[in-house]
């Protein structure tokens, strides 16, 4: 099975461990095991819980404890609507594997995380992109969306909040997507790994799984929960679809690690404290970034409403890959070329990581812009 190179992952793999200042990172500044246990009041008890674990394959679909904690993130969904996966990466791969037949059509709202275009294509599906435009505040155009539907369309996919723009689909627009999908009996896969750290309020934003029976939500401990080291994600979907997914999952996952399941359960049971920490980081950092963008004449953007990432449009006569490579070579600052998302003339920045890193990196980007400016 042939598949496109995964642009963003290849870029990150090549540079993230050797750069000096990483402002390409998408996770909220990852939390240590000790910090998490302290937050959960388990510093003493955890060793006992770990010692008692007999290291079997564990609960194959995820423990009831974890599935309940995940279901509690979605109004109206219960543990039997949840399947635990190896990260959201595992969830997305499983979903397309279970749903796609050659010749099916997928409408992908782009730019997006490349799994949502390259995996269906690799399975013989035809991907029809619906491009988000900055002049629409990166909200999908619903008339254009419905215009892309044909008798072969099987599903609509989106990332919400969006990677790479960091913009949340507004509730009425999400409801519009659900209405269109319902009229044409389509699945909607909504990759919601950045859900939980919005800028405007402290509530979880509306999930597709809360408003549409054929809405499939993908979530993860990696980004908003700052626990990528667990490699733990999930699918929330009707049990009949989860059953189809399980057929594939038995072949390539069996179960996720018991220790990861336990730590994720503890984290989600303490989610208010964890998300409060994480929201504080992304809000502090976005304020710093916004002040910089306002003062930087060569940069423009649509200010993100959620997530940990956003696209910056730069006023420089240089392709984005060259921009990022030269920036890295000359300053040690790592950004992501917009070209890996199909948006030339932009770079993706992450604002969820260390505040000091961001503060140190932005002046270096300004100096680079001055040096190479028109």
Per CB under 6 A, residues contacting ligand PLP are: 26, 87-89, 113, 159, 163, 191, 193, 220, 222, 228, 233
Whose Cβ is closer to ligand PLP: residue 153's or residue 159's? 159
Minimum CB–partner distance for residue 161 and ligand PLP (Å): 9
Sequence-distant (6+) residues with CB within 8 A of 32 are none
Measured distance CA(216)–CA(188) in Å, rounded: 6
Minimum CB–partner distance for residue 26 and ligand PLP (Å): 5
Whose Cβ is closer to ligand PLP: residue 46's or residue 263's? 263
What dihedral do alpha carbons 302, 303, 309, 313 form, nearest 10°?
Answer: 40
Minimum CB–partner distance for residue 10 and ligand PLP (Å): 13
Asked whether the beta carbons of 332 and 20 are under 8 A apart, the reply is yes
Minimum CB–partner distance for residue 233 and ligand PLP (Å): 4
- Supply 49's token pair: 């819980």
Minimum CB–partner distance for residue 340 and ligand PLP (Å): 12
Backbone angles phi, psi at 164, to 5 degrees: -105, 0
Minimum CB–partner distance for residue 351 and ligand PLP (Å): 14
Whose Cβ is closer to ligand PLP: residue 158's or residue 369's? 158
Backbone angles phi, psi at 123, to 5 degrees: -95, 10
What dihedral do alpha carbons 12, 188, 207, 341 form, nearest 10°?
Answer: 20
Exposure class string for 216-244: b at 16+ Cβ within 10 A, else e: bbbbbbbbbbbbbebbbbbbbbbeebbee
Minimum CB–partner distance for residue 42 and ligand PLP (Å): 24
3-state secondary structure 300-325: ECCCCCCCCEEEEEECCCCCHHHHHH
Minimum CB–partner distance for residue 269 and ligand PLP (Å): 19
Whose Cβ is closer to ligand PLP: residue 193's or residue 197's? 193
Please identify the residue of the shown chain whose CB is closest to the bound ligand PLP. 87
- Supply 188's token pair: 């909607």
Whose Cβ is closer to ligand PLP: residue 109's or residue 281's? 109
Measured distance CA(145)–CA(186) in Å, rounded: 12
Q: Cis ω on the peptide bond leading into residue 234 (within 30° of 0)?
A: no
Whose Cβ is closer to ligand PLP: residue 92's or residue 285's? 92
Whose Cβ is closer to ligand PLP: residue 302's or residue 368's? 302
Whose Cβ is closer to ligand PLP: residue 192's or residue 210's? 192
Asked whether the beta carbons of 91 and 235 are under 8 A apart, the reply is yes
Please count the other Cβ atoms lying within 10 Å of the Cβ belonging to residue 211.
17
Backbone angles phi, psi at 153, to 5 degrees: -70, 135
């Amino acid at each position: 099975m042939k598949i496109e190179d995964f642009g963003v992952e290849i870029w990150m793999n090549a540079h993230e461990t050797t750069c000096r200042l990483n402002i390409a990172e998408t996770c909220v500044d990852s939390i240590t095991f000790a910090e998490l246990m302290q937050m959960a009041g388990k510093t003493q008890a955890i060793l006992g819980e770990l010692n008692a674990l007999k290291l079997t394959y564990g609960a194959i679909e995820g423990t009831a404890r974890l599935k309940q904690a995940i279901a509690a993130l979605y109004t109206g969904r219960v543990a039997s609507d949840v399947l635990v996966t190896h990260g959201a990466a595992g969830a997305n791969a499983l979903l397309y594997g279970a749903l796609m037949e050659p010749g099916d059509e997928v409408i992908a709202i782009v730019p997006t995380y490349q799994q949502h275009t390259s995996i269906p294509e690799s399975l013989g599906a035809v991907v029809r992109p619906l491009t988000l435009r900055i002049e629409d505040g990166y909200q999908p155009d619903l008339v254009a969306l419905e215009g892309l539907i044909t008798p072969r369309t099987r599903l609509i996919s989106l990332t919400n909040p969006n990677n790479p723009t960091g913009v949340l689909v507004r509730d009425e627009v999400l409801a519009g997507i659900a209405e269109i999908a319902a009229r044409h009996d389509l699945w909607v896969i909504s990759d919601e790994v950045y859900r939980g750290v919005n800028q405007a309020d402290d509530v979880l934003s509306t999930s597709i799984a809360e408003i549409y029976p054929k809405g499939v939500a993908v979530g993860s401990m990696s980004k908003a929960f700052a626990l990528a080291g667990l490699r733990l994600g999930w699918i929330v979907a009707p049990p009949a679809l989860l059953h189809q997914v399980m057929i594939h999952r038995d072949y390539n996952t069996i179960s996720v690690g018991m220790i990861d399941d336990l730590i994720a359960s503890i984290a989600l049971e303490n989610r208010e404290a964890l998300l409060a920490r994480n929201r504080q980081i992304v809000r502090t950092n976005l304020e710093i970034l916004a002040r910089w963008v306002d003062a930087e004449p060569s940069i423009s953007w649509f200010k993100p409403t959620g997530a940990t990432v956003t696209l910056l449009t730069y006023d420089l006569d240089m392709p984005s890959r060259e921009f990022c490579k030269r920036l890295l070579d000359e300053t040690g600052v790592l950004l992501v070329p917009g070209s890996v998302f199909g948006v030339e003339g932009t770079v993706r920045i992450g604002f969820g990581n260390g505040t000091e890193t961001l503060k140190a990196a932005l002046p270096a980007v300004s100096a680079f812009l001055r040096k190479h400016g028109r």
